[in-house]
Amino acid sequence: MAEDFPHYLKVFYTNPYETKFSLGQHAHDFRFTVSRGPIGSKTILTLHEGSTTDGQISAIGKETGWFHQGYRMANEIILPPIGEYPNMFTSTMRPEQEFTRRWYQFTMKVGEGEGLHSEKFEWRPTQGNEIKAMFKHAKGFKLVRVGAEGPGDGRGGKRQSRQLGESSDGKEVVAVWATKKVILSISRSPFKFELLGSGKTGELGRHFGYMALMTALETWCFQVLRIHDDYSPYVARH
């Protein structure tokens, strides 16, 4: 399953009570179903393979506590075993804030076999070119591979001039998610997710797509009710 992780996904609301939603490229082809934990539960999101919650569980996101910057999440990725490659991986995503800038960071092992090593990633807010094609008025987050230069040889720079797939500080952008920028909050917000660069080629390993998707969904849940105001000291969740 992990070998053909989809590069592009969007949310489809199939449950009027919004306790679950589906992810796929088309409404007739759901790749995942996401269920949300009950009120009071530490489990925030569970990712199921296929079009129902009866499918194999591939990832679980659990809240580990509230901090000044927001919720800290522990993500457990559970995949079918392949050879000696570990089938289970856990990484914690934590929010960070400095003045008006908020971002979410995690560290995970990437690569394959003897090349397996740890790298740091950050979800940073964006209205850049990587998400402009997703919605007419798009706003979201980009996942930055902190230890790797972008396709513009690490030059970075302003949005208008820098290479697509590169952050302002010259780092590689490996995934993005976006929703519509609105004045009033909406609970059934749209969501689109896409892997880019080395996140798309598979060189980061079989756990990466799942970890990128789960952390994208979590930042979306934290931000979606206040997507027009990412820098509020209060991080809303739903």
H helices present in 50-196, as ranges? 129-132
Lowest mean pLDDT among 1-5, 17-21, 70-74, 144-148: 1-5
Q: Give the residue-averaged pLDDT of 7-22.
A: 84
Cα 160-167-126 angle, rounded to 5 deg: 75
- Enumerate the β-bridge partners of residue 77: 59, 89
Higher-confidence residue of 159 and 129: namely 129
Band (213; pLDDT cuts 50, 70, 90): very high
For residues 170-188, one letter each, b for 16 or more C-beta atoms within 10 angstroms of the residue's C-beta and e for the rest, the string is bbbbbbbbbbbeeeeeeee
- Tell me how far apart the alpha carbons of residues 54 and 33 are, in angstroms, rounded to a whole number: 9
Q: What is the pLDDT of residues 147-161, one digit of tens each?
A: 998 887 767 667 666
Which pLDDT score is estimated for 128?
A: 83
Q: Is the pLDDT of residue 23 over 80?
A: yes
Q: Is the pLDDT of residue 222 over 90?
A: no
Cα 114-117-122 angle, rounded to 5 deg: 155
Q: Give the residue-averaged pLDDT of 1-16.
A: 80
